[in-house]
Structure 1
Amino acid sequence: MATWNSSNTTTTAQSESHTATVPLANGWIHQPDGRGTLDIIKSCLLTVFLCSWSAICLNVPPPARHRWSFLQLKFNWMIFTIFFPEVVVALAAEQWESACQSVNDFQNLGYPQWTMRHAFFADMGGFHLQSPGFPAFPVDGQQLVYLVEREHISYPHVDQDTIRDKNKADGFARLISLTQMTWFSVECIARAIQQLPMSTFELSTIAFIFCSLNMFFFWFHKPLDVEVPIILRSETRIADILVEAGDRAREPYKTTPLDFLGPPERKTSIIALCKYGLGVIFGFGQEPANRPIKTFVNSRTTPYRGTTIREMLYGIAFEVVYFGIHLTGWNFAFPTSTERLLWRVASCQLLGLLLFYLAIITVFTYFYRSIARALFGRDATSMLGVADVCPRWVMFLAFYSVIVAYGTARTYILVEAFVSLRALPLDAYTSVDWANFIPHV
């Protein structure tokens, strides 16, 4: 049992569903014999940092980008992941689906040696096309299939070892993170078995671990921190490729000359509307102005055959479990009854916004044409097509309201998880008695 300074006092927190009072230890608790405040903070922060840093797999940066700017970009994405881990999981899931479709397409062309690692490497901008008289630009898996099928380039005979060699501490970094995640989870499970209370900081960390495990799964084959692409040289001029493509390649390109091979508007996608909304408010996911681009933006997903119903159901189940984890803190002991009430409100608000978002996705996915005609008197070809015909100020107001509501609740969850450490139940500082799990006479 941890010891408390004489300056620390104990108070009581009254639970709405319990008549007994819960003694709380106020202030900073030292850990000479058990665990203290610093132990909780170190364990949670270390777990969150390792998960967010090693799980994030960014695309290949522009050739001229400095190493420090790449680290800054990754740090920015780490902060974004801490606030919106479910969004990053959805991005990873669609990138995984795109890689699966790429592998299937190359196998149909007679190249079974094209693996998930190759597909991820291509979709993250690992291959750049160099044509006569035209600057090199990145090509994704779908575009490579087109170029190889029409013999504009030879099949890129790049083995997995070459791609793995460009990987930066892939296996080692993820092994350390998985070890920490496993130990943290086992300790929390053991505390639950021995009926020892946890802090809301630990509960939020468990939710983050759940998201990180999904990221690790979907990005398992995606190389980590690749900085130098592989150049694929073609003897065919870009102009000849566009002429051969016909009418679909006549429109001016926005990113690369192979934009005409980009994914069409998908009829089924959980993340598409979210990315659209973030783009309306923050410009999230927009392509650079320079043409052709030198790298793919990290929010880019290209499952050009869409997302299957099975995958959408998995995404819904994931979101419900993730937001449901916060609800398990419903009857936790908080420093004040107001903080407990706000935690409950924020948790319900996050879950309610999720259900509202899923309802909007369902309605607009199947009734987008009727909605566009009824509201705006115009035709739409997809869910995002309805957003395109909607007045800009209406879209901004709608997405801004949702993002503010979500951001407020999410920020409170994160802040309260930390500040509630100022007063925890006495048993929260009791270490797990591992001897009780060892069979003995």
Structure 2
Amino acid sequence: MAVLQFAKATKLTMKILELENGKTKATRQHGFFILMSGFHLFKRDRTLFPNKIEENGREEARLLGKESAVEAGDSQCDHTPNERRINVVEEVGNPVHPLDEFDVFRLIEAGKLCLPPSTEPQDRCKSDGLAKFLFVVQTLWFIAQFIARKVSKLPLTKLEVITLGYTLLTVAMYIAWWDKPYRVTSPIRVYETLPECTKKQEELKRGMEETGFVSMAIWYAAGAQGGYIDLRSVRGVPLFHSGYIGKEFSDLSSLLTTIIVGTLFGAVHFLAWSSPFPSTHMQFLWRFATIVMTAVPSTTIVITLFGVPIGEYVSKILGALILFSLFLLPPLYFVGRGITIVLALVTLATLPLDAYRDVEWSDFFPHI
């Protein structure tokens, strides 16, 4: 899901640069900002604000119905300095729905919407460079300790092994989400009248109405719910929203990442393959779970891409068997994950004495 969002945000950024012809310095953060409902349609409420304000000892009339590009000022928007000075009362209105990529791009093309400077989404989304730095330092320190214990021939606990696996997953997600804002608590308010729905938006609305709960849950698990959600019909973007990706769901980068990172996560557990266990049954369960977690990610992708089309082409019975095996693989994978977590906690009660020894860092560096 993280890599799919990264790929989609990159495509949106490239499209913005094409529309603006290099006039704006769009970054990948702008692409993420659009996916995260950074632009929200609002309906004006004329009863909340006065239509006159006093400035420099004189009254200047200002119509609240004036069309504006965005709520926040921007150097590229058509606002004069005088208009900005007298706009001391912020227009809020009532939220309607988030804007999808189609509406955002059409408003940009029509000159009715201006992208904010790169510093504004960062400020709105509370992006913290210090938190990123601390995460990197903590992760590198844990990996260094793990390698040092292995080199020093000190036993590794099963809890350390599975933690290393989760660290790899976290690093992969963090790389993909490095430019992603933390969250959008105050979206940019847009007061424009939207054009008619495009064919893709109508397709999204029909898919949202026709897709049942079980099917939608599967699309959520696959990170492809963006192909079945019409943002004009909801109040906020769904969890892990990746934008419109079409019915084919064939983003190669996300599939390759699923195979590579998923396989590496399972392969990490091979480090405890020959480690001592309280019983042979526990060792067998650990090895079984390790093989399952290593093989299932790649097997699932291969069956989805090749097995299902071949099975449907050959015969209905073979196709049904392939689909049945495809539905069995995810539960089997979660069983393997559960086994490793339980064994990691159970084996803490029978750790060898060397497991409590610290790494002698002086053995790795020259010293007097």
Match of 1:278 in 2: 218
Match of 2:294 in 1: 351
Over aligned residues, Cα RMSD in angstroms? 3.8
Match of 1:326 among 246, 264, 269: 269
Instruction: Summarize the alignment of residues 406-417 of structure 1 with structure 2, pairs less than 5 Å apart.
Output: 406-417=333-344
Report the Cα offset of residue 126 of structure 1: 1.6
1:212-265 Cα deviation digits (max 9, x unpaired): 11111100111113322111221x3x4x423xx4x6665682699xx9xxxxxx
Letter in 1 for 2:356: Y
Q: Pick the structure with greater CA Rg.
A: 2
TM-score (normalizing by structure 1): 0.61
Letter in 2 for 1:278: I
TM-score (normalizing by structure 2): 0.72
Match of 1:190 among 148, 151, 158: 148
Letter in 1 for 2:238: V
Letter in 1 for 2:239: N
CA contact (8 A) 1:198 1:428 kept: yes
Identity, % of aligned pairs?
A: 23
- Unaligned 5+ segments in structure 2 are 46-93, 210-214
Matched, 1:338 2:281: yes
Report the Cα offset of residue 163 of structure 1: 1.2
- Structure 2 CA distance for aligned equivalents of residues 289 and 214 of structure 1: 29
Change (3 A) 1:375 1:113: farther
Instruction: Summarize the alignment of residues 220-259 of structure 1 with structure 2, pairs less than 5 Å apart.
Output: 220-234=178-192, 236=193, 238=194, 240-242=195-197, 245=198, 253=205
**Number of residue pairs the alignment of both structures matches:** 309
CA contact (8 A) 1:207 1:325 kept: yes
Report the Cα offset of residue 193 of structure 1: 1.4
Matched, 1:145 2:105: yes
Report the Cα offset of residue 121 of structure 1: 1.0
Instruction: Name the SS of the counterpart of 1:349 in structure 2.
Output: helix
Match of 1:107 in 2: 17
CA contact (8 A) 1:124 1:296 kept: yes
Report the Cα offset of residue 333 of structure 1: 1.5
Report the Cα offset of residue 425 of structure 1: 2.0
Match of 1:300 among 233, 236, 241: 241
Report the Cα offset of residue 373 of structure 1: 5.5
Change (3 A) 1:326 1:399: same
Moved more, 166-175 or 192-201: 166-175
Letter in 1 for 2:267: G
CA contact (8 A) 1:320 1:351 kept: yes
Match of 2:328 among 401, 417, 430: 401
Letter in 2 for 1:220: W
Report the Cα offset of residue 136 of structure 1: 2.3
1:412-434 Cα deviation digits (max 9, x unpaired): 11111112111112211110011
CA contact (8 A) 2:97 2:234 kept: yes
Report the Cα offset of residue 278 of structure 1: 3.3
Match of 1:123 among 20, 35, 42: 35
Instruction: Name the SS of the counterpart of 2:351 in structure 1.
Output: strand
Report the Cα offset of residue 309 of structure 1: 4.5
